[in-house]
Amino acid sequence: MHEDRHNITANQTEIPSLGPSKIGNPAAAMCGPDGTACRFIGENDRVLVYPYPQDIRGKKTPPSFELAGPRSKIYFDPPKLKAAIVTCGGMCPGINSLVRSIVLQLHYIYGVRNIVGVRFGLQGFIPKYGFQMMDLTPTVVEGIHGRGGSFLGMSRGPQPMEDIVDSLERQNIGLLFMIGGDGTLRAGQAIYEEISKRKIKIGVICIPKTIDNDISFVERSFGFETAVEASTGAIRGAHNEATGAPNGLGLVKLMGRLSGFVAAQATLALADVNFCLIPEVEFDLEGEHGLLTQIEKRLDDRGHGVVLVAEGAGQKLFEGKDLGTDPSGNPVLADIGVYLKMRITEYFKEKQKALTLKYIDPSYLIRSVPASSDDRVFTGFLGHHAVHAGMSGRTGMLVSTWGNHFVHVPITLAVGHRRRVDPQGGLWRAVREATGQPSLINSNGGA
Ligand SMILES: Nc1ncnc2c1ncn2[C@@H]1O[C@H](COP(=O)(O)OP(=O)(O)OP(=O)(O)O)[C@@H](O)[C@H]1O
Ligand SMILES: O=P(O)(O)OC[C@H]1O[C@](O)(CO)[C@@H](O)[C@@H]1O
Ligand SMILES: [Mg+2]
C-alpha cells in the first residue's frame, strides 16, 4: 500500500450496479445450525483506502472500498444465468486455478449450470477467428489447477468492442469474468461502457492478472509470488556460476516492462544480488559511479558478483531506437540483458582484466510454471469473491486486496495510472540495503 498512494475521493470508489438484488442468496445453504458460514457482507462494510491518519485529516468522507464477499440478496437468477470467462494478455501462474475456482463456485455454491470459456482472449468473441466457446463444468476443469500455462488460451491485440458485446448478446451471456492485466482492465471498461450504452444487463467483473504487479489499488496480483520464486532459480544459478570462477559475474534478466516489482522482490528473496536494475530507477553505465566501474570495484573487492536487470531498465541507453509496439500497444523494448552482456565484456577486455560472465535469461519460464500453493489459495479466494460480486449485480469492477482484505475496486480507479516501484519508498530502500549497491548516477550525468 505504501508504494501506491494517490489522492482519491469517496465518490471514485463507488461500484456500478445492474439493479436491485431481490433473490435470496443460495450460499445461505452453507449456514450451519451452529452458526458457521452464516455471515453475509452488509452494504456498509468497507475498508479505508488510506490507513494513515494524516491522509484523511480534513476529509469529510474518507475514501473506502466495499468489502468483498457474499451478499444476502443476489441479482441474477442462477438457473437462468449464462456466465463466461475470458483470459487475456500474457501468461501468469495461477490462471488455471482461478478459472477452476470461478467454475466451481458458480456451479456448486450458486447453482449456475451454464458456464462457458472464451478461447484465446478477446479473439474468442469474434466469429472470423473461428473459435468455439468451451462448456465449463466441474469435470472439464478437473485437475487444471495443478497445470502451468493457460487452459483457455490468451491473446493480445484489440478487437471491436461492438462485436464483443454483440457476441455477448447473441450468446445470451449475462455475466462476464475477465482475467487479465492493465490492458484487459481497459478492455473490460470499454465493454462495460458499450453495455451501458445499449442499456442491457450484462455484468463485467475483472480479476487482475499480471506478474508485473503493476495495477493500481491492487496490493498483490496472483502469480506474482510464484514468478518471484521461479526467478530465484536463475539468480541462484548465476550466483553459483559466479562464485565458481575467477572474477565471476552472473547476469540475469527478468521480465518487468515498466514496473520492476519482480526484480526487486526476487532480489530480496535471495540476497545474492549485488546490483538490481529496474525501469523506475535510472543508472549510468559509464563514469566513476556508473555500473561498469561499480561492477569492477565489486569484483576487485569480492571476486564475484550478480547483476539482476529487469527488461525495462536502462532503456535510455537506446534513445532514438524506436522498436514500436506489440499488437496491444505495449512498447517493444530493446534487449538490455544482451546489451549489458556485450558492454561489460568489452569493458573488462579494454581494461585487460579477467572476467567470467554467465548470462541467464529465464524469460517465459517464470510465468508459465504452475502456481505455488500460496498462489492457488489466493486464486481460490479471488474466484469466490469475483462470483459473489458478479451474482450480486455488481459490474465495472475488479476484485482486489487492500490492507489484507478482499475488496471491490472500480475499473476506472485501477487503470488511472500504473503502479510502479517508488524509488523513495520502502521496497527500493530494502533493495538498496540488501544489495549494498550505491546510486549508479554520476553527478555530471555520465561519461
Ligand atoms: N484501451 C483498450 N480498449 C480496449 N481493449 C484494450 C485496451 N487496451 C488493451 N486492450 C486489449 O486487452 C487485451 C489484453 O491487453 P494486453 O495484451 O496489453 O495485456 P494485459 O491485460 O495488460 O496483460 P499483461 O500486461 O499482464 O500481459 C488485448 O486484447 C488488448 O488489445
Ligand atoms: O512476450 P509477451 O507475451 O508479449 O509478454 C511479455 C510481457 O508480458 C509480461 O510478462 C506481462 O504479462 C511482461 O513482463 C513482459 O514484458
Ligand atoms: Mg499490460
pTM here? 0.96
Q: Is the CB of 150 under 6 A from ligand 1?
A: no
| ipTM associated with this complex | 0.98
Q: What is the reported pLDDT for 71? A: 97
> Could you give the CA distance from residue 114 to residue 103 in angstroms, rounded to a whole number?
10
Ligand showing the shortest atom-to-Cα distance for residue 183: 1
Q: Which CATH architecture has domain 224-368?
A: 3-Layer(aba) Sandwich (3.40)
Fold agreement between 2-222+371-414 and 224-368: yes
Q: Is the CB of 190 under 6 A from ligand 1?
A: yes
Q: What is the reported pLDDT for 4? A: 60
Q: How far is the CA of 254 from the centre of ligand 2 (A)?
A: 10
How many beta carbons lie within 10 A of that of residue 405, not counting itself? 16
Q: How far is the CA of 89 from the centre of ligand 2 (A)?
A: 8
Q: Which of 212, 272, 284, 375 is catalytic?
A: 212
Helix (H), strand (E) at residue 360: strand 356-360
Q: Which residues make beta-bridge pairs with 64?
A: 48
Q: What is the reported pLDDT for 189? A: 98
Q: Could you tell me if residue 30 is left (phi over 0), alpha (psi between -120 and 50 degrees) or otherwise beta?
A: alpha
Rounded to 5°, the CA angle 7-12-13 comes to 105
Mutate to test the pocket of ligand 1, among 87, 131, 328 (most ligand atoms within 8 A of CB): 328
Q: Which residues are CB-neighbours of 291 under 8 A, at least 6 positions away?
A: 275, 277, 283, 284, 285, 307, 340, 440
Residue count (the chain): 447
Q: How far is the CA of 90 from the centre of ligand 2 (A)?
A: 5
Binding-site members for ATP are 90, 156-157, 181-184
Q: How far is the CA of 378 from the centre of ligand 1 (A)?
A: 23
Closest C-alpha to ligand 1, atom 15: 183
Q: What is the reported pLDDT for 446? A: 46
Mutate to test the pocket of ligand 2, among 255, 335, 336, 363 (most ligand atoms within 8 A of CB): 255
Closest CA to 383 of 190, 104, 158: 104
Helix (H, G, I), strand (E, B) or coil at 315: helix
| Whole-number percent of the chain with pLDDT over 70 | 98
Q: Which residues make beta-bridge pairs with 394?
A: 17
Binding-site members for substrate are 210-212, 255-257, 311, 364-367
Identify the weakest region by mean pLDDT among 35-39, 46-50, 300-304.
35-39
Q: What is the reported pLDDT for 3? A: 53
Q: What's the average model confidence in pLDDT over 129-139?
A: 97
Q: Is the CB of 328 under 6 A from ligand 1?
A: yes
Q: Which residues are CB-neighbours of 446 under 8 A, at least 6 positions away?
A: 284, 285, 286, 287, 290
pLDDT tens digit string along 144-159?
A: 999 999 999 999 999 9
Q: Is the CB of 187 under 6 A from ligand 1?
A: yes
255 CA: nearest ligand 2 atom: 14
* 179 close to 95: Cβ distance less than 8 angstroms: yes
β-pairing verdict for 134-135 and 73-74: unpaired
Ligand showing the shortest atom-to-Cα distance for residue 209: 1
- Decide if 212 is catalytic: yes
443, pLDDT greater than 80: yes
| Whole-number percent of the chain with pLDDT over 90 | 90
Read off the pLDDT band of 1 (50, 70, 90).
very low
Q: What is the reported pLDDT for 6? A: 72
Q: Which CATH class, in words, describes the domain spanning 2-222+371-414?
A: alpha beta
> Could you give the CA distance from residue 97 to residue 33 in angstroms, rounded to a whole number?
31
Read off the pLDDT band of 7 (50, 70, 90).
confident
Read off the pLDDT band of 444 (50, 70, 90).
low
All residues with CB under 5 Å from ion ligand 3? 181-183
Residue boundaries of the structural domains of the chain: 2-222+371-414, 224-368
Closest CA to 286 of 421, 415, 132, 440: 440
Average pLDDT for the chain: 95
Identify the weakest region by mean pLDDT among 1-5, 275-279, 406-410.
1-5
Helix (H), strand (E) at residue 116: strand 114-117
| 425-434 LR contacts (CB < 8 Å, sep 24+) | 425/2, 425/3, 426/2, 426/3, 427/3, 427/261, 427/264, 427/265, 428/264, 428/280, 428/281, 430/268, 431/264, 431/267, 431/268, 431/276, 434/267, 434/268, 434/271, 434/273
Read off the pLDDT band of 224 (50, 70, 90).
very high
Helices (H), 117-223: 161-170, 182-198
447, pLDDT greater than 70: no
Q: Is the CB of 89 under 6 A from ligand 1?
A: yes
